[in-house]
Amino acid sequence: MAAGQAASAFGGLKAAGDEKTAAVNKYKRELGIRRVKWDGQRSLYGTRVAEYETQVAENVLSSSRAYADEQSRLNDVFSEASAQAQEAFAQLSENQKDFGSGKTGDRLEARNLAKFGRNQALTASNLIRARESYQSNVENIRERLRSTNRNAYSKVQFKPQPGFAPVKPNTDMTAANLQFLGGIASAASSGIGAYNSLKAPDVGSFGSSSPQGFYKPNVDFTSSIDFGSYGNLPSSFSFTNP
């Protein structure tokens, strides 16, 4: 029985130790998995950031080219209008020489000037519309740039997080050790009790006290016996306890 209790105590301590070891190994494995995932997320995020920066640079370059094209188109319109105005003014001046004097010449000159004025007004209107179209196109280019950059930024807007760490296992063996010591103490107590129950009785010496129920005669051999009534025998014998 005592041996069984001791074996049970040792087995319980080993089982508790194995359980703690398994919990620690599981914790380490979960930490390793978390670290691998975190490294992968950071690597992926770094790649996306690089792609975002490249995309933004390309967007800015493309927008700059579009701005330049719109500005060049507007400059061409103004240059063409300026050339046409100069040509129209030169033609007006040339025609003025052929009108002569008098009322007819004045009417022809006025009509020619009115035509020149109408052409200049039409040219100015065209230039205004060209300027408005330029501003609208530039604003559209700017809006496309912002929209494209926002779409690119949405991929790197939120940084990855490592997530929650696994719960650290409880490695305290105090309770298991106390239980083990209690089991050992119980086994020792049971062993001592079993030993005492199986111990051979101590019979001791004759006349001594015996715990096993041996009879002890209650005789006092030091006392005297009176033989006076037996004739010539000595009046008494003295016995001593051997």
> Residue 86 pLDDT more than 50?
yes
For 169, counting Cβ atoms within 10 Å of its Cβ (0-12 exposed, 13-18 middle, 19+ buried), the class is: middle
- When pLDDT is averaged across residues 105-119 and rounded to a whole number, the result is 75
CA angle (225 as vertex; 223, 231 as ends), nearest 5? 160
Q: The pTM is what? A: 0.53
Pull the structure tokens for residue 59: 């967007």
For position 235, what pLDDT does the model report?
45
- Are 77 and 115 a contacting pair, CB within 8 Å? no
- When pLDDT is averaged across residues 48-53 and rounded to a whole number, the result is 94
- Name the pLDDT band for 76 (thresholds 50, 70, 90): very high
Could you tell me the CA-to-CA distances from 155 to 36, 51, 55, 161, 227 in Å, in that order?
Answer: 22, 10, 11, 15, 133
Question: Does residue 236 sit in helix, strand or coil?
Answer: strand
For position 173, what pLDDT does the model report?
63
201 against 77, higher pLDDT: 77
Q: What is the average pLDDT score of the chain?
A: 74
The CA distance from 127 to 125, in Å, is 5
Convert the pLDDT of each residue in 2-45 to its tens digit.
555 556 656 666 776 777 788 888 889 888 998 999 999 999 99
For position 144, what pLDDT does the model report?
94
> Residue 216 pLDDT more than 60?
no
- Name the pLDDT band for 97 (thresholds 50, 70, 90): low
For 16, counting Cβ atoms within 10 Å of its Cβ (0-12 exposed, 13-18 middle, 19+ buried), the class is: middle
> Residue 70 pLDDT more than 50?
yes
